[in-house]
Structure 1
């Protein structure tokens, strides 16, 4: 009587013959299985014919050999026996085949092989059928664990390589050196222009109450944000981020409304409200732009601004009041439409100097008050800032100071 458990040294018999007999013509069986995969396993049917005849065929032959060994000798596969299963799965991971494709082929192949082995069984072979079932489940477990583990490990390695290449690309773009070479290595085609964002990510509330796990919680927050960013931006965003924030590069010239929506979306994924500052530049201007947006970001924090998206137009006045530089130039340009009308600039300066008193302004300039009103209205038309309204006056005042500084301190 045969020992029906798949133990070492035992052989399972069906109808008086080795249960493995239907599998012995391994090549023919493998060819039939591969055709079955192509006809019935939809993702597999979409694979190139050459791929079916190589990787899938090789893997099928290996698995059949493992099944024969278990049926004849009752010996479960060793790590060495499963090496080709792991190698095939790793290759598929690197080539971008989905894991469910790998598992469906393995599971379907083992199920079909089990049916083939049991096809000649008689009623009195029930114990043998149970033993065959146990062997097939054991084989399925072994190859599934080997394939899945190898696939995940290889996928992690691929993602790590891609992440490393992406980080190198962002570093190159931010430094202005060898960006083209880094882009080739990352498999990314550089855009002509980018929106550069400085991003601030506040601590999640749970970070404050999980002292020992604070770093873990912070990484989880960042991971959720990065996953949502990749999905929302279609994988096009380049980033250099830590749990506290960093720099985002968005190719092209996305609209402000879209960027606000993006911030809301990734902030919701991270569970925190985000603050970002942005500017649009050509690719070769990214290093200077990155410095500028992070200066703006620091200013937004100093001013205690609400979370949201800020551009130079939003913070130019505050930027100018705290430091010389691009903000001052930006404000000074506000008055460029008045360059051919010096009387308008003079009227502004006198009017502001007299605390916005029309009568005193008119008297100082020997004008009629209607003329003062006309000139102020003309300033509003040319600059888009109405000096008779608080919001417009604030920018006009700052622009006058910036214009004066640009003349007096051109190199600063």
Structure 2
């Protein structure tokens, strides 16, 4: 800013004194403003007292000096003048001060400085008051742009450093290499135990209609998921993810209920239903566990299981049947007599899926319970395995899984 009203360098008087006079004891004014910040801007103690007495005070003194310069000389701050504002803002970004707090301090400080400059104004000083207001707005614009730009740039640099280091650590853990050096760079000490999670992320509905923006929509979905994952895990989760899914490492041994809650949260953020498989292992066993959870994840996909969380205990039989061989082939052939009766296979799957409850099966299929009974008896006659008896049911369940896996293998 090179002029205040009609010309540059015109002195602004309030009550016969330069408008900057009440601000010139910058350290005393800064201490007063910092007390105001402590009482009104950070009432919950967001900033420790020591920092309030040093960083924030120094920052306030710099801004006051810029305001005095603008009031007395009618000139805007140069890039060099704003260097200390940028440096302080960058330092706060690296130390984790919220940007909203930085901006509130700026706004409150400059507002109060303007009030002090105009405190003793008389009626004839009205034109000068308007100029003071103009100067304060210009000062607020200068320091806000400088502080925000510096803060964002520094935060992006910090996040880039952390993301790169975290990727290195995940890579080291998944590959089985000693992770000590990667951990030092990431600022993270590897835990003794991890939950290894394989995650499948389906396409967002918007991806189907996004055409040229499909990749953009997919990245946005992934970014929402990553942000929620970081927040839900307190920043502890390590991940290697693409828009289709990947691997997540959760330190410690969280309970299944917590992991289910985490899956719900990140699925809600991504706006898609997620399927995950997990294994709890020591750090040294992460590579083997990662391979296993992704085998389980492929299995859940082949069996068209509902989205949700699965562990080896949930899929032990199915997992074992993924190994091709004469046993699996024999089991799959148990259902060959039903080849020409798809309604019997459907009844069997629905009945098992509804915990062998005839009424629920009938309701789901819009049938009478007698029809369900007839079909179950017919299945027993054709296959020699009675699905209403425990021994027959075990064979039938194994045969259904084997049949799905055989079909999936042929279709590859």
Same fold? TM cut 0.5? yes
Counterpart-to-counterpart distance in 2, 1:260 and 1:42: 36
Counterpart-to-counterpart distance in 1, 2:37 and 2:155: 24
Q: Indicate yes or no: 2:287 matched with 1:284.
A: no
Shift of 1:297: 1.7
Matched residue of 1:194: which SS? strand
Equivalent residue, structure 2, for 1:376 = none
Equivalent residue, structure 2, for 1:262 = 262
What pairs with 1:340-355 in structure 2 (closer than 5 Å)? none
* Contact 1:4–1:10 (8 Å) recurs in 2: yes
Distance 1:262-1:4 versus aligned 2 partners, 3 A rule: closer
Q: Indicate yes or no: 2:394 matched with 1:391.
A: yes
* Contact 2:93–2:155 (8 Å) recurs in 1: yes
Distance 1:255-1:94 versus aligned 2 partners, 3 A rule: same
Distance 1:204-1:45 versus aligned 2 partners, 3 A rule: closer
* Contact 1:37–1:45 (8 Å) recurs in 2: no
Counterpart-to-counterpart distance in 2, 1:188 and 1:6: 59
Counterpart-to-counterpart distance in 2, 1:113 and 1:243: 50
Equivalent residue, structure 2, for 1:81 = 81
What pairs with 1:13-412 in structure 2 (closer than 5 Å)? 13-43=13-43, 47-323=47-323, 388-391=391-394
TM-score (norm 2): 0.74
Matched residue of 1:235: which SS? coil
> Which segment is superposed worse, 214-223 or 179-188?
179-188
Distance 1:136-1:180 versus aligned 2 partners, 3 A rule: same
Shift of 1:95: 0.9
Gaps of 5+ in 2: 329-388, 402-412
Counterpart-to-counterpart distance in 2, 1:269 and 1:320: 34
Counterpart-to-counterpart distance in 2, 1:111 and 1:80: 24
* Contact 1:7–1:75 (8 Å) recurs in 2: no
* Contact 2:275–2:308 (8 Å) recurs in 1: yes
Shift of 1:317: 3.2
Counterpart-to-counterpart distance in 2, 1:275 and 1:262: 12
Matched residue of 1:102: which SS? helix
* Contact 2:4–2:135 (8 Å) recurs in 1: no
* Contact 1:6–1:70 (8 Å) recurs in 2: no
Equivalent residue, structure 2, for 1:378 = none
Shift of 1:117: 1.2
Counterpart-to-counterpart distance in 1, 2:83 and 2:199: 45
Counterpart-to-counterpart distance in 2, 1:105 and 1:6: 31
Shift of 1:93: 1.2
Instruction: Report how many residues are paired.
Output: 337
Distance 1:163-1:250 versus aligned 2 partners, 3 A rule: same
- CA deviations on 1:44-81 (whole Å, 9 max, x unpaired) are 96634442333222212211111111112221223332
TM-score (norm 1): 0.74
Shift of 1:211: 1.5
Aligned CA RMSD, in angstroms, stands at: 2.8
- CA deviations on 1:308-343 (whole Å, 9 max, x unpaired) are 222223333333333379xx9xxxxxxxxxxxxxxx
Gaps of 5+ in 1: 329-385, 399-412
* Contact 1:193–1:283 (8 Å) recurs in 2: yes
Q: Rg: which structure is higher?
A: 1
Counterpart-to-counterpart distance in 1, 2:303 and 2:151: 50
